[in-house]
Structure 1
């Protein structure tokens, strides 16, 4: 069983994968968004290549727990993925994941230019790890 985590943004999609046993999440790549079709095709390729069985998409909620326009776009994207890939797709609260990724990279003294290149896949890994940790407790 292998899970994929996605941090869906306006310009990029951060991608992370679990190890085969579902213990840890690692950032894989950042997809530079073009249009929905090529973006979904790249995700399809990764799903096949890594034999992904479930996908977790970050859901950006407001701090008062409501879902705004950005959240609605993520839900629509997740529903499209579910239809296209015929796999379970789960939503996971992603509040503050990018801030956590940024803080971790700053603590590691990663340059601004390098942070920009990896922050989205790191946020996807945080989303995925949070989902996996929660799932183990259930």
Structure 2
């Protein structure tokens, strides 16, 4: 599962046979509630490994702290992947695909998670 971590919401993506697809966006107010929701997704989707996107600057530190927390609390293997420019690329691709603005705004973080997860999967190959 790929996670695009943000301060108010996270984008989720899943991979099947080496292909990443957007799953959903979770909005949250505190990290304990976020972890509860993530655990539900992990159980439902039978997730074994999580890849968390890390950008530059202050968010990099927060993303790394979040990755450590997910690893400890959910007892999962957690890897990190550079997510620089994935938000911009996700927006561009969704515009090109003709996705309406409202749906695009609601799912943009999930598309970013899918791009980041696909990059991770491609690097494994």
Alpha-carbon distance in 2 for matches of 1:133, 1:109: 26
Alpha-carbon distance in 1 for matches of 2:28, 2:86: 20
Q: Does 1:10 align with 2:12?
A: no
TM-score with structure 2 setting the length: 0.95
- Quote the residue 2:123 is aligned against: 134
Larger radius of gyration: 1
Shift of 1:79: 0.3
Count the aligned residue pairs.
125
Structure 1 segments unaligned to the other structure (5+ residues) = 62-67
Structure 2 segments unaligned to the other structure (5+ residues) = none
What are the equivalent positions in structure 2 for 1:59-78 lying under 5 Å apart? 59-61=54-56, 68-78=57-67
Shift of 1:42: 0.8
TM-score with structure 1 setting the length: 0.87
Alignment match of 2:48 (pick from 47, 50, 53): 53
- Quote the residue 1:83 is aligned against: 72
- Quote the residue 1:101 is aligned against: 90
- Quote the residue 2:102 is aligned against: 113
Alpha-carbon distance in 1 for matches of 2:13, 2:97: 20
Shift of 1:36: 0.3
